[in-house]
Amino acid sequence: MAKSSRRVAAQSSFELLVTLAFGLAILLPLVVLAFIQLASASTSLTSVEAQQAANKLSSVATMIGSEGPPSRQVAQIQMPSGVRFVYVGNMNNSVGHEIIIVISSPTGLSYVTAYTPANVSGQLGGITATGTYLVNVTATSSCPSKPSVACVYMSSRV
């Protein structure tokens, strides 16, 4: 009789282990999928925040550029996490028409850009950490990176 009760107990334990294994086999892919979705949502949020910062700088540059020298304004922008570089004008930080924010993501580098009709240039390389920054936006008749051209110059405020 003792052997029979041990077999029943062993069979019950084995059935419980099989049931738990099936439950984990079903649950594990759902957990992995949830983590993938969370990472994707975080990357999307970072891109949206960077786009808002680039659009704000672009709109301020357009307004200051239309007013002409010696117009100036201080813009407050919020930078998300993962920002690697901020280029003003073009990728060489010389005179151009774009604000480019380079973001590091799990899939590599992402580029967020905003166009402005005004010639823009500047040095915003120090803006890479998460936080709020003040940016000086100034209309100049002689651009520091190309003196023969009038532009809107942006520099981070320290």
Band of the pLDDT at 140, cuts 50, 70, 90? very high
Give the tens place of pLDDT for each residue, 51-82.
999 999 999 999 999 998 999 999 999 999 88
Cis amide prior to 70 (ω within 30 degrees): yes
Amino acid in the structure at residue 158: V
**For residue 100, is pLDDT > 90?**
yes
Confidence band (pLDDT; 50, 70, 90) for 145? confident
What is the pTM assigned to this prediction? 0.75
Quick one: pLDDT at residue 126?
81
- 31: burial class by Cβ within 10 Å (0-12, 13-18, 19+)? exposed
The per-residue pLDDT for 28 is 85
Instruction: Please give the Cα distance from 5 to 148 (Å, whole number).
Output: 96
Give the tens place of pLDDT for each residue, 107-123.
789 999 999 999 999 98
